[in-house]
Structure 1
Amino acid sequence: MNQLSRRYFPYSEHLKKTYGGRIQKVSIHADFTCPNRDGSLGFGGCTFCNNDSFVPNYLHDGMKSITEQIDHGMEFLPGRYHNAKAFVGYFQAYSNTYGTVEHLKRIYSEALNHEKIDGLVIGTRPDCLSDEQLDYLADLAKDNYIFIEFGIESCYNKTLDRVNRGHSFEDSVEAIQKVVDRGIPVAGHMLFGLPGESREETLAQAKIISELPLGSIKFHQLQIVKGTIMAKQFKEDPSQFPLFQPEEYVDFMVDFLERLRPDMAIQRFSSDTPINLRIAPNWGIRPNQIQLMIEKRLKERDTYQGRLYK
């Protein structure tokens, strides 16, 4: 079993072992878009996506400059986070490499020039990173903390097509390897409960993503969010969406962890869309409570991350 105090490998422990302490994110909204929104690949974006659902409230108040956003974001951090080893600007909403290298340099430089920012976490799509951009990021990584997060969402192309993702799983595999080859840490996002996937298919993805050179992973349960294509589909036919209920999700996550590579760090187990945007499911349970339920279930079942790996 994992020699850590927990029965899974938490990202906080990974940061402590690798960098010597906590690296705290400060969210930044830089007005990027995505190629499946602006017509390059399609329109409407992913059917499940409304980026307002995960942009912090303090970024909705009309501030424009990245410097202002960082200043304001630092004020919102809980006191205990101010003891972090380093702070990184978190470019989260939409595809944050979807632009020219010159544009990225302007955006990223402003963040890195902030006196309290030591690096960047950049969320993007696997089809939005050119070799030129990767070389630029590798150069930045020589003197800064640089992390890339890819939205993988599913390992099945049938699912990615159904949700209008606009790229294939093979695109994710290729992009992850290119980033790793340049020495930049990569995290992946997986979304559980997407339409058309059986629970068995969803669970089988643990083995697939374990073969990818990901250092860490974020898990999200599907939520139906206002203002999305999926919200319309859900209204027309809710039976397409067998949404997880809390206890079911906890058991599923334990099953998934058992099959997951033991050295892949877990950044989060679930997400929580603001109630004013969420249509379903209404769990009434915060992500930290889900985490505690998963830890309890791991102990009850006397199991741990990677027990069934290979």
Structure 2
Amino acid sequence: MTTEQFPWGHQKRYHDFPTHFRQLFDGRVQKVSVDAGFTCPNRDGTKAFNGCSYCNNDSFKPDYCRLDKSITEQLQQGIDFFARKHKTMRFLAYFQAYSNTYADMQVLKARYEEAMSHPGVIGLVIGTRPDCVNEEILEYLADLSKSVYVMVEFGVESVKDETLIRINRGHSFAVARQALEETARRGIHNCAHLILGLPGETRSDFLEQARVVSQLPVENLKLHQLQIHRGTRMAVEYQRNPDDFNLFSAEEYIDLIVDYLELLNPRIIVERFVSQAPAGMLLAPKWGLKNFEFVAKLEKRLAERETWQGRLYRDE
């Protein structure tokens, strides 16, 4: 296959999110994170108190996302930062921390609508758990998505129930499957988060994950390597028994991602391959690579192997 024949219509060897977004909105659009003060059923005692074993929300939350600021103030600070580079940029309010559909419907509406009232915001991206959506919430989001862009990002993390139990996730893969199906059925944009390298999983498990995800109505996909963050239960487990963890080198992970992409449905838009926690929070692995540096290495490897997303995909 030549690059002109890729089904996503451009020369990159995978269906990349930035290109898709620029085409979708006919210009630059940037997510701006906000912390709306939500919690999580895995932390408030509904399911557990300690959360998922790998989770430390501070590892990805910008400094301006503080609960002493309103949603409007957080958005304005984030928008001011990005708008200095691109004056015509538009923005999506990104409800990122914890489970952002986990509240009474009136509370959700008030917080989403505060974000949408900002003149620079053209839509919402809502991060949540698959077990924190119901018919009422999905019907509201479906109605909202008729007038603005709405994406729901689900933390799926693994397709293996044994792994989900081990990391104290608090739901099965069947719950994630249903959430993705119900979101897609209503025409709401969705995204699935998955972690590669969780303890107990093997290379064959990761590649089977690509096959499983390819059969789901997943629109966007976020992958990242397992990182051990300070202040988590997994950090304690890692320090006690490091041999239980098979953490990738950057080169190993690049080769895994190439193999994963070959099996991945070409219609799925890939938003992310790696995550980068602040250095002070990260125990391992320490690659010393920025995200864009990793992507450049990955694109070079895809070209070297003369392969692309979906080359080995089979529709089942």
Percent identity (aligned) = 48
For 2:28 and 2:150, locate their aligned partners in 1 and report how far apart those are by CA, in whole Å.
14
Equivalent pairs, count:
308
Indicate conservation of the 8 Å contact 2:142/2:188, yes or no.
yes
The residue type equivalent to 1:40 in the other structure is: T
In structure 1, distance between residues paired with 2:153 and 2:261: 20
> What is the root-mean-square deviation of aligned Cα atoms in Å?
1.3
- Alignment match of 2:146 (pick from 142, 146, 152): 142
Partner of 2:82: 77
TM-score by length of 1: 0.96
Q: Aligned pair in 2 of structure 1 residues 82, 177: CA closer, same or farther (>3 Å)? A: farther
CA distance in 2, matches of 1:73, 1:289: 24
Query: Which residue does the alignment assign to 1:102?
Result: 106
Moved more, 288-297 or 23-32: 23-32
Q: Helix, strand or coil: the match of 1:77? A: helix
Unaligned runs of 5+ in 1: none
Q: Which amino acid aligns with 2:259?
A: D
How far apart are residue 135 of structure 1 and its match? 1.1
Task: Give matches, 1:11-160, under 5 Å.
Answer: 11-60=17-66, 63-77=68-82, 79-84=84-89, 86-160=90-164
Instruction: Give the Cα–Cα distance (whole angstroms) in 2 for the partners of residues 82 and 8 of structure 1.
Output: 29
Question: Which amino acid counterpart does residue 199 of structure 1 have in structure 2?
Answer: R
Cα shift at 1:78 = 6.3
Kindly indicate whether residue 192 of structure 2 is the aligned counterpart of residue 188 of structure 1: yes
Deviations 1:44-100 (A, max 9, x none): 10000000000012224x64200100110112226444433x311000111000001
Q: Is the 8 A contact 1:126 1:175 kept in 2?
A: yes
- 1:149–1:189: 8 Å Cα contact kept in structure 2? yes
Letter in 2 for 1:145: Y
1:227-242 equivalences under 5 Å are 227-242=231-246
Distance 1:284 1:297 in 2: 19
Asked if 1 retains the 8 angstrom alpha-carbon contact of 2:79 and 2:91, the reply is no
CA displacement, residues 173-196 of structure 1 (integer Å, 9 cap, x when unaligned): 101111111111101111010000
Q: Give the Cα separation in 1 of the matches to 2:201 and 2:127.
A: 25
The CA deviation at 1:159 is: 0.4
One-letter identity of the residue aligned with 1:195: P
Query: Runs of 5+ in structure 2 lacking a partner?
Result: none
> Do the aligned residues in 1 keep the contact of 2:34 with 2:94 (CA within 8 Å)?
yes
From 176, 192, 197, the counterpart of 1:172: 176
Aligned mates of 1:297, 1:267 — CA distance in 2: 18
Output one character per residue of 1:123-178: Cα deviation in whole Å (capped at 9) or x when no partner. 00110011111111112112111111111110000000100001111101101111
Instruction: Determine if contact 1:272/1:286 at 8 Å carries over to the other structure.
Output: yes
State the distance in 1 between where 2:177 and 2:164 align: 14
Instruction: Look up the equivalent residue of 2:48 and give its one-letter code.
Output: G
Please tell me whether residue 201 in structure 1 is matched to residue 195 in structure 2: no
Letter in 2 for 1:72: Q
Q: How far apart, CA to CA, are the structure 1 residues paired with 2:133 and 2:300?
A: 40
TM-score when normalising by structure 2: 0.94
SS in 2 for 1:18: helix
Deviates more, 1:147-156 or 1:73-82: 73-82
Q: Which amino acid aligns with 2:74?
A: Q
Q: Show CA shifts across 1:180-235 (max 9, x none).
A: 11111101111010000011111211100001111110111000001100011011
Q: Matches of 1:22 and 1:138 in 2, distance apart?
A: 24
What residue identity is the alignment partner of 2:180? Answer: I
1:296-307 equivalent positions in 2, closer than 5 A: 296-307=300-311
Maintained 8 Å contact 1:27/1:56: yes
Which residue matches 2:281?
A: 277
1:126/1:150 contact within 8 Å kept: yes
Cα distance between partner residues in 1 of 2:296 and 2:117: 38
Flag the 1:194–1:65 CA change in 2: closer, same or farther, 3 A. same
**Cα distance in 2 for residues equivalent to 1:78 and 1:273:** 24
